[in-house]
Amino acid sequence: MNLVIDGMAVVVAKGATVLDAARGIGINIPTMCHLGGYAHFTSCMLCVVKDRESGRLIPSCSAPATDGMVIETDSDEVRHARSSALDLLLSEHVGDCEAPCRITCPAHMNIPRMIRQIGAGRMRDAIETVKADIPMPAVLGRVCPAPCEKACRRGRYDTPLAICLLKRYAADADLSGPSSFHPVCRHASGRKVAIVGAGPAGLAAAYYLALAGHACTIIDEKDEAGGGLRYGVSESILPRGVLAGEVEGIRRLGVEFRMNTRVGRDADMGLLRMEFHAIVLAPGKQDAQSAAGWGVAVADDRIVADQHSLATSDTMVFAGGEAVQHGRMAVRAAAHGKIMAIAVDQYLAGGTVTGPVRRFESRMGRLLEGEIIDFMKEAGQRARTAPAGGTAAGLSMDEAAMESARCMHCDCRKADICRLRELAGEYGASQKHFNVEGRRRFERITTHPDVVYEPGKCTKCGICVRITERAGEKPGLAFTGRGFESVVGVPFGDSLGAGLQTTAGECVRRCPTGALAFKHERHEGPGE
Ligand code: SF4
Ligand code: SF4
Ligand code: SF4
């Protein structure tokens, strides 16, 4: 068969689909319900393309490639049709990509994942999860007012998780262990970044910039690093050894410290501009006169920076922390540090400076009556764990395990790999639950030892049904009910554990959403 796809001629054997033909010449068409090697089953209409001759939009995964076809795969019309197909799927989708605790954490730390890793005793993975967003967790575990705990869903049932103490437990275990976590930095970029200020924003910026391969120099007027953490928090709350340990971890990444150096006196901004490829300003709270001295736009006593990228009026200068936004929360300053690192990295790579990429988020809004019972299915009933040795001592290993068992796993365990989420972001799809009362109920089925099934996230693609069918798994999974009301489930009312025995892993891996997920982190980051 000879056809033309996006202006390129392609020859395929009889029986090939338009999707096969496009993929053969490297054209990527998105799919959700398509499963290579299995017969076509349904169409989610994500793979639509335009057949120029008939003028119709056709599903490429099932349309046979025929002689003389002229196909468009990426026109506005095609993209619009895919976006509408996604809107439709999302309109009946019930689930939160991210847990309320994570959404509320200024550093956006993956709290539920950390908790699952602590619960499984995988402390190396837990500290890696923490440090992906918070480079000084032992420090923050002592000074953070924990806004995440105010948002913790468990608080609606009894009391919130002790998230901050759990994070501190992971951090202390790492610092006191035989070899603390030492992330691998990317290859040296040959680019140099000056970071003015050795407080939480500057230290965090240096940590993530060093990971990205840039040579970092922190410049600070004091003789020791820490900024407000060292000079504004008492030793009884934050022992200096803890701060020094985490600063040392940053130094070990190759970050240089020029202490006792005040920009404007010993180091001039003009000289920094010549010596470095980019400058991060994190000097802490400013008065009107000092703010004006940085050579970038200011408003009163604050440096003006874009709220997403923290870029200033000077393209090579980025600013964050209290110099930009007043408020003494160290975690917010640390979050600014990471944002600046991402933006500086984009700037140094010569790309568009946007700051962190915002991902699509499915949100189901407030819980309907009784839904919390489904969230409690995997959570222990114990009350919040108070450290036996007092808050200053922190949680013991057993206490951390007990506390982690209270988490309700409010996030989606496939949030990083969900195809629906990825495509919704790519096509700018939107989810409109016009009113919470009108949405479907959230349900979580936990009767399988390894797998959790959340029917509200099922797109009815039928992939799992086809897998269990071909494998001869009995009873397997099937569509139960009729028409619009049909759902995937185990026939004859059997439990999920009975339905999925040999094919559970395959079904989870192939399910394009978080509807079928492993309970215990197997698809979540390191240690799979
Ligand atoms: S299934 Fe995908 S879109 Fe739905 S909540 Fe999970 S990650 Fe988000
Ligand atoms: S129960 Fe767990 S996942 Fe849910 S909000 Fe609290 S800490 Fe986060
Ligand atoms: S549960 Fe089955 S039918 Fe539903 S989205 Fe996952 S693979 Fe598809």
Contact 218, 195 (CB under 8 A): yes
Q: What is the pLDDT of residue 197?
A: 97
Atom of ligand 3 nearest to the CA of 461: 8
Ligand 3 pocket (Cβ < 6 Å) reads: 458-464, 488, 511-513, 515-516
Contact 344, 289 (CB under 8 A): no
Separation of CA 175 and ligand 2 centre (Å)? 25
Can you tell me the distance from the alpha carbon of 6 to that of 103, in angstroms, rounded to the nearest whole number?
41
Nearest ligand to residue 460 Cα: 3
pLDDT digits (tens, 9 = 90+) for 219-266: 999 999 999 999 989 999 999 999 999 999 999 999 999 999 999 877
pLDDT at 28 over 80: yes
Separation of CA 173 and ligand 1 centre (Å)? 32
Contact 323, 302 (CB under 8 A): yes
Contact 288, 250 (CB under 8 A): no
pLDDT at 527 over 50: no
Q: What is the pLDDT of residue 48?
A: 95
Better pLDDT: 380 or 527: 380
Contact 194, 316 (CB under 8 A): no
Nearest ligand to residue 415 Cα: 1
Q: What is the pLDDT of residue 284?
A: 95
Pick from 27-36, 91-100, 324-333 the range whose average pLDDT is largest: 91-100
Q: What's at 391, amino acid-wise? A: T
Separation of CA 507 and ligand 3 centre (Å)? 8
Average pLDDT on 260-285 reads 93
Q: What is the pLDDT of residue 528?
A: 33
Tokens 């008492």 belong to 234
Sign of torsion over alpha carbons 102, 103, 105, 107: positive
Mean pLDDT of the chain: 93
Can you tell me the distance from the alpha carbon of 224 to that of 259, in angstroms, rounded to the nearest whole number?
7
Nearest ligand to residue 412 Cα: 1
Atom of ligand 1 nearest to the CA of 361: 8
pLDDT at 485 over 80: no
Spacing of C-alpha 159 from chain mean position: 25
Contact 499, 467 (CB under 8 A): no
- In terms of residues, how long is the chain? 528
Neighbours of 172 (CB within 10 A): 21
Distances (CA, A) of 3 to 14, 23, 67, 74, 386: 12, 13, 6, 16, 69
pLDDT digits (tens, 9 = 90+) for 421-447: 999 999 999 987 555 567 889 999 999
Of 226, 252, 250, the residue nearest 239 (C-alpha): 226
Average pLDDT on 66-78 reads 96
Can you tell me the distance from the alpha carbon of 430 to that of 414, in angstroms, rounded to the nearest whole number?
19
DSSP state string for 482-506: -GGG-EEE-GGG--HHHH-SSSHHH
DSSP structural state of residue 202:
H
Better pLDDT: 524 or 196: 196
Q: What's at 286, amino acid-wise? A: Q
The residue nearest atom 3 of ligand 1, judged by CA position, is 421
64 DSSP β-pair partners: 17
The residue nearest atom 6 of ligand 3, judged by CA position, is 511
Separation of CA 525 and ligand 2 centre (Å)? 19
Q: Report whether residue 514 contacts ligand 1, using a CB cutoff of 6 Å.
A: yes
Q: Report whether residue 409 contacts ligand 2, using a CB cutoff of 6 Å.
A: yes
DSSP structural state of residue 29:
-
Tokens 């025929």 belong to 66
Q: What is the pLDDT of residue 434?
A: 53
Better pLDDT: 150 or 486: 150
Separation of CA 407 and ligand 2 centre (Å)? 5
518 DSSP β-pair partners: 451
Contact 323, 286 (CB under 8 A): yes
Question: With bands split at pLDDT 50, 70 and 90, how would you rate the model's confidence at 334?
Answer: very high
Can you tell me the distance from the alpha carbon of 232 to that of 240, in angstroms, rounded to the nearest whole number?
12
Query: How is the beta sheet containing 2-5 ordered, strand by strand?
Result: 8-11, 2-5, 70-72, 48-51, 56-59
pLDDT at 525 over 60: no
Q: Report whether residue 163 contacts ligand 2, using a CB cutoff of 6 Å.
A: yes
DSSP structural state of residue 74:
S
Can you tell me the distance from the alpha carbon of 288 to that of 266, in angstroms, rounded to the nearest whole number?
21
Distances (CA, A) of 37 to 20, 457, 504: 12, 24, 19
pLDDT at 519 over 70: yes
Half-sphere exposure of 251 (CA within 13 A, CB side): 12
Atom of ligand 3 nearest to the CA of 462: 3
Distances (CA, A) of 238 to 96, 107, 129: 35, 20, 23
The residue nearest atom 8 of ligand 2, judged by CA position, is 101
Q: What is residue 264's three-state secondary structure? A: coil
Phi (first) and psi of residue 220, to 5 degrees: -150, 145
pLDDT at 498 over 50: yes
Of 222, 260, 262, the residue nearest 243 (C-alpha): 222
Q: What's the whole-model pTM score?
A: 0.93
Structural element, H or E, at residue 57? strand 56-59
Q: What is the pLDDT of residue 522?
A: 65
Q: What's at 62, amino acid-wise? A: S
Mutation probe of ligand 2 site: the residue of 96, 98, 101, 157 with most atoms within 8 A of C-beta: 101
